[in-house]
Amino acid sequence: MEFATGALGTLLPKLGELLLDEYNLHKDLRKGIKDLRDELLVIQAVLLKVSDVPLDQLDQLVKIWANDVRELSYAIQDSLDSFMVRVEGVEPTKPHTFFGFIKKTYKKVTKLKIRREIANDIKDVKIQVREVKERYDRYKDVIGNTNARTEVDPRVLTMYTKISDLVGIEKSMDELTEMLSKGDDLSGQKLKVVSVVGFGGLGKTTLAKAVHDKLKKNFDCGGFVPVGQSPDTKKVLRDILLELDRELYKASATMDEWQLINQLQKFLVRKRYFFVMDDIWDIRTWEMIKCAFMDSHPESRLIMTTRIVDVATKAGGIYNMEPLSDDNSEILFYTRTCGGEGLTSSNQHAEVTNKILKKCGGVPLAIITIASLLVGKQSEDWSKVYDAIGFGHEDSEVVQNTRKILSFSHYDLPSHLKTCLLYLSMFPEAWKT
C-alpha cells in the first residue's frame, strides 16, 4: 500500500489553477481555495514522510489515518474536476443579438450559481480536511516514532548458512578473494575497499559473509556489521567497536559519533583488519563510516555491499554480483524442493521447473522462495504455483521475508517513481499497447 499515491500530486496543481485570474473567483472563494491548498500541502508533506517507512513498521492508527487522507483526496479531485468542467463548459456567446444577450445573461447567472455551489462545497471539504488534520495531530507522536521500531532483518538468516549448502558461490568467492588479495592498486589509499554491488536478492550479503569467514583468520581483527537503509550512524560505529572487543567497549553507548571514531582509530592503529559493512544505501553514510578507517594499515581490507552503483563507485573497487547460471539455478531449486534428487530432463516437473526458473531469472532469493512453496506439493500444484508467481496469495514466513527484502529498493525510490512503479505493476508481463 503506497500512502503517497493518492490524488494530492495532481489535486494541488488543479487548486492552483483555480486561483488564476481567468476564473474570476470572488475574493472569499479564492481565500477558501488558497487555505485548502495550504492545508493539503502540509498533509502531503506528512504523507511523503509516512510513505518512506516500510508498511510493516507503521502503527495501525497511522495506516487508517493515511488511508482516510488518500480517499479524501480522490473525493476532492472528483468534485474539483466536476466544478472545472461545469465552469469551463459555459462558453461565451455573441452578444450582438437580443437572443445572444439573453443567453449571455443566463450563463452569467449560471456561473454565479456554480461558484456559490463551489464555495459551499469548499467549506465542506475544508471541514473534512480539518478533521483529518486534527486526527494527525493526535497521532503525530506515533508517526514520529515509526522509524524507532527495531525489526529483525530477514537477510540475517542467510548469513549463517553453511558454505557446503550454498550453490554457485565458489566462483564468486574466488573472484572476490582475488580482488581483495591483490596489492593496493588504488594510489594514495592505505585501505583496500571492494564493493559488492547488485540488486536485492542476488546474495551479496551471503557472499560477503562467506569470504569474510574464509579470510578473517589472516587478519588481526575485524567483523561483520549490518548498516541498513536508514541507519543510526552512532549505533553502526558502536557495533564496529563491539565487534572488536565487546567487553572493552560495553560502555560506549554514552559516546557521540566523534568519540566513537576516535576510539576506533586508536584501536586499529598498526593492526591489519578485515571488515564487512553490509547494505549501505547512501554516500553520506559511507563517508561517515570511512572516517573510522582513516590512516589504516596498508594490508587492511574492507568489503561493502550495496544496491546503489554511485555508492559503490565512491568507495573504490567494484565487484558486480551476477545472477546464477541456468545450471546452478536448477541445482539450487532441486536442492530446496527434493534434496537435490531428480536433476534429469525426464523428471515429471521438468517443463514447469524450466518456466519457473526462467521467471526467477537466476535470483537466488526468488528461487529459494518459490522452491519453499513447492515442497510437499503434488505435481499438478506446481503449475498452479507458477501461474500465481508474484506471491500475492501466499502468506508463509519465507514469502513475507522475500517481500520485505525486495521492498527495501521500493522504499528507496523518490515518491513519484514509487507511484509510477505501482502503476506499471498493474499490467501483465510483456503487455503491449
Whether the model pTM is above 0.85: no
Exposure b/e, 28-57, CB count within 10 A at least 16 = b: ebeebbeebbebbeebbebbeebbbbbeee
- 165-320: which CATH architecture? 3-Layer(aba) Sandwich (3.40)
Residues of each domain in the chain carrying CATH 3.40.50.300: 165-320
pLDDT at 207: 93
pLDDT at 161: 54
Residue 196 has phi, psi (to 5 degrees) of -95, 115
Q: Which long-range contacts (CB under 8 A, 24 or more apart) does 27-30 make?
A: 28/119, 29/115, 29/118, 29/119, 29/122
Tell me which residue has cell 541445482.
331
Q: Which residues of the chain are under the pLDDT cut of 70?
A: 1-8, 21-26, 52-59, 83-116, 118, 135-165, 183-189, 295-296, 339-348, 388-413, 415-416, 425, 428-433
Distance of CA 167 to CAs 164, 206, 307, Å?
Answer: 8, 11, 21
Instruction: Please list the helix, strand and coil fractions of the chain in percent, rounded to the nearest 5, in that order.
Output: 60, 5, 30
pLDDT at 393: 47
How many residues appear in the chain?
433
pLDDT at 52: 67
DSSP-assigned letters across all residues of 84-146: HHHHHTS----TTSHHHHHHHHHHHHHHHHHHHHHHHHHHHHHHHHHHHHHHHHHHHHHHHTG
Tell me which residue has cell 559488492.
196
Residues 178-216: pLDDT tens digits?
Answer: 999 876 444 445 788 999 999 888 889 999 999 999 999
